[in-house]
Chain A
Amino acid sequence: MSTPGPDHAEWADAVGAYLLGALNSEEHAGFEAHLAHCPLCSRDVAELRVAADALPVSVPLVKLPEALKDRIMSVVRSEAELLSAAGSRADVPAEPPARAAAGRGRRSLAAWFMRPAVAFACALLLLAGGGLAGVLLSGGEDTRTVVAETAAPGADVRLVIGEDGATLVARDMPAPPRGRIYQVWLQRPGSDPVPTAALWSVRSDGTAEVAVPGSLDGVEAVLVTDEPQGGSEAPTKPPVITASPA
């Protein structure tokens, strides 16, 4: 017979709530830590998981929005092209983008952009952008917000600049034209816009939070254009968003 873990009495009645997602985040983490040391609860979870896993099967099927696939696959194909261009170093752990950029300077920013691990890290930053923006917009002491100019009628886009980087926060922004994707560029005085790996689309409600890769040191404008999937090395269209950090 299995021996219960040291704090079994505290957690023994939480198995059902855990499997149903009914623990709050702290309780969830606490229970998972307990599971690692409690054969009894591990056995119970394994046995009852089949019932919890069956619950989504009971849901009536509803029609899938056709545009959803286009939105998801446009991002996937763009990132696949980046990974493909990255080659065998795609699995190399990424340096933090700011550190990588600071260490190499502007000359090698394009090369940094082409590094797959960095590109992938930037993609992950895009994913994390939602939570980050929420914190920044809450009025932290070290953040400031710049209202961006936009060519999209009715769109509200702001550049939120914090200690850890900048985020574009868009509301009522139209999706990029079919087959294209938004790309973020960094414009410095007297230079052509430098491409970033920030390729993005908007949610169904026209919102987006996009982490701007790299440092804004010396940047006079953060630009966004719509580009072919996979992005471009130079803008192919006028910017739809222009934000001046200074």
Chain B
Amino acid sequence: MQLVRRGQAPAFELIYERHSQAAFSLAYRMAGSRGVAEDVVQEAFLNIWRSGARYERSRGSVRTWLLGIVHHRAIDALRRSFVHEKRRASDEGLEETLETGERTDAEAARHEEAAAVRSALQGLPPEQSQVIELAYFGGFTHTEIAEMLETPVGTVKGRMRLGLEKMRHALGQGEVSLG
């Protein structure tokens, strides 16, 4: 990241090569549209290129930091352009998921991590996994979720916290590496 901060395009390209697929996959999962996902990733990476100095190692790995930026950008896009509705109506989807045979070793390792996190998420009580999915991947605010589920806001916030606590416990037992 120091080289990126100094304006070294090859160093930035390396960051892009390492993390762009995870970034695009997250944006696509949230937006449900390749076009919106491309815009989110483009804006996120250019933001990173222009503000590499803001990365703090103490806040986690480059990947975690970068995906956090993509997540915030995708939420902005969702809340700004009503992509929520488009996503529900989207016919794009699993046909674009990489087939097993196309995976590299790194992708295979990531696949194992993904399975562990999905298992932790699916192991939650449905009402907890539901609010986490709606918030993190849907980009909905806690008040929107409360209206959607006809549930008090305090209950929704409580489910979010409880769900994260249980996920943390499950991931700790599985020792999933998130670097």
Contacts and interface: CB of A to CB of B under 8 A. Distances in A.
B38 A68 contact: yes
A5 to B, nearest CB: 17
Contacts of A79: 7, 49-50
B83 interface: no
B123 interface: no
B95 to A, nearest CB: 10
B114 A205 contact: no
B9 interface: yes
A30 B111 CA distance: 37
Interface stretch (A16-24, A144-152, A164-172, A210-218): A16-24
Interface in B1-19: 7-9, 12-13, 16
Contacts of A33: none
Contacts of A142: none
Contact of A60 (B25, B72, B145): B25
B118 to A, nearest CB: 5
B176 interface: yes
Interface string B12-35: 110010001110111011000011
A72 B16 CA distance: 9
B167 A68 contact: no
A23 B24 contact: no
A84 B132 contact: no
A16 B160 CA distance: 5
Contact of A50 (B38, B118, B142, B171): B171
**Centre residue among A63, A124, A203 by max chain B CB count within 10 A:** A63
A63 B94 CA distance: 11
B168 interface: yes
9 contacts: A16-B162, A20-B164, A21-B135, A47-B168, A54-B178, A59-B29, A65-B34, A77-B9, A80-B12
Interface of B: 7-9, 12-13, 16, 20-22, 24-26, 28-29, 34-35, 38-39, 41-43, 45-47, 49-50, 60, 64, 67-68, 70-72, 75, 94, 96-98, 103, 107, 110-111, 113-114, 117-118, 120-121, 132, 135-137, 139-143, 145, 154, 156-165, 167-168, 171-172, 176, 178
Q: Which 5 A-B pairs have the closest CB atoms?
A: A16-B160, A16-B161, A83-B7, A22-B135, A51-B167
Interface of A: 13-17, 19-24, 47-65, 68-69, 71-73, 75-77, 79-80, 83-84, 90, 120, 123-124, 127, 203-205
